[in-house]
């Protein structure tokens, strides 16, 4: 019952739970990492694609000089609506846009930034080609992707729990999509296919995911991501059970109190 379209649907209750639970759980350290790398570049205009609920956008708005303009885009309007409602320290242009068909002229931006969005692109070569097109000569594409699910402990525990709950048709969103694009050789090949001639620089960054109880990551993953769409498609009456099972799996491995798990991602940057 895998549905790659539903993997890209962030609507309903997902944006709020995503931002309030998942962002502090797994996204904030990598947002800080990306913006730290970005801040060392000469910048006038920055484009963010797949901005989600704006964790990187908020970090850029706080860290980059006010003279640097920021355009933040996402395919999902509900995510952008949530991000713009939360707001930023200074003005940002929010714009709905498909990463595979960017509504901007050539050579417009000094950097294109994307946090954990490349895994969701139906045609990654096309998306990278579009990023290259809108970059100025000498500009930089900077993005990150999650490493394999085995190196991301809460994701792995949740996926195993739901596999036991639906053994005949397990919900594999986390394994299939967020953690399904971890092969750095494939990423390099895709970038070359998009017209980038330089060799990408790739760093593997390990961090910690912490929460005050096992239930927080259970709710975050089961209800704050498109995994919710998969559970609902199988049996909408079992969403609470799915959260309970995921929380029990995390507790069995990490304890019933505060939990602390490994997360790991690849950071990729390449010049135009």
The CATH number of whichever domain residue 178 belongs to comes to 3.40.50.150
Q: Which stretch of 13-22, 62-71, 184-193, 232-241 has the lowest confidence by average pLDDT?
A: 13-22
Do the domain assignments include residue 76?
yes
Residue 1 in this model has a pLDDT that exceeds 50: no
From 196, 172, 185, 202, select the one nearest 265 (Cα to Cα): 202
Do the domain assignments include residue 210?
yes
Residue 35 in this model has a pLDDT that exceeds 90: yes
Mean pLDDT across 89-116: 97
Residue numbers of the domain that contains 265 = 6-271
Question: Over the stretch 140-169, which tens digit does the pLDDT of each residue have?
Answer: 999 999 999 999 999 999 999 999 999 999
3-state helix vs strand vs coil in the chain, percent to 5: 45, 20, 30
Do the domain assignments include residue 173?
yes
Distances (CA, A) of 70 to 4, 83, 155: 30, 14, 31
Do the domain assignments include residue 178?
yes
Residue 246 in this model has a pLDDT that exceeds 70: yes
Backbone angles phi, psi at 148, to 5 degrees: -60, 155
| Beta-bridge partner residues of 71 | 47, 93
Residue 2 in this model has a pLDDT that exceeds 80: no
What CA–CA distance (Å, rounded) separates 60 from 35? 6
Residue 88 in this model has a pLDDT that exceeds 70: yes
Do the domain assignments include residue 49?
yes
Cβ atoms of 226 and 119 within 8 Å: the answer is no
Residue 9 in this model has a pLDDT that exceeds 80: no
Do the domain assignments include residue 1?
no
Rounded to two decimals, the pTM is: 0.94
Distances (CA, A) of 267 to 29, 50, 100, 116, 185: 12, 15, 20, 10, 13
Do the domain assignments include residue 207?
yes
Overall number of domains in the chain:
1
């Amino acid at each position: 019952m895998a549905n790659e379209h539903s993997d890209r649907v962030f609507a309903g209750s997902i944006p709020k739970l995503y931002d309030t639970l998942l962002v502090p759980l797994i996204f904030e350290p990598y947002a800080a990492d990306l913006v730290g790398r970005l801040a060392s570049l000469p910048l006038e205009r920055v484009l963010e694609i797949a901005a989600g609920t704006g964790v990187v956008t908020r970090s850029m708005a706080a860290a980059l000089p006010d003279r640097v303009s920021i355009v933040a885009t996402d395919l999902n309007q509900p995510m952008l609506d949530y991000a713009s409602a939360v707001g930023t320290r200074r003005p940002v242009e929010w714009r709905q846009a498909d990463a595979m068909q960017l509504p901007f002229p050539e050579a417009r931006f000094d950097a294109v930034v994307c946090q954990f969005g490349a895994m969701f692109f139906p045609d990654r070569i096309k998306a990278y080609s579009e990023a290259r097109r809108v970059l100025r000569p000498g500009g930089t594409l900077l993005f990150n992707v999650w490493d394999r699910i085995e190196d991301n402990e809460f994701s792995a525990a949740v996926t195993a729990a739901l596999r036991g709950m639906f053994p005949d048709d397990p919900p594999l969103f986390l394994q299939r999509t967020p953690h399904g694009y971890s092969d750095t050789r494939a990423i390099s090949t895709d970038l070359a296919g998009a017209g980038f001639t330089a060799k990408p620089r790739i760093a593997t960054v390990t961090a910690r995911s912490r929460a005050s109880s096992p239930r927080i990551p259970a709710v975050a993953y089961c209800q704050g991501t498109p995994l919710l769409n998969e559970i609902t498609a199988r049996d909408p009456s079992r969403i609470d059970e799915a959260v309970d099972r995921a929380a029990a799996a995390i507790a069995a491995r990490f304890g019933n109190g505060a939990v602390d798990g490994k997360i790991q991602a690849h950071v990729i940057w390449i010049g135009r």
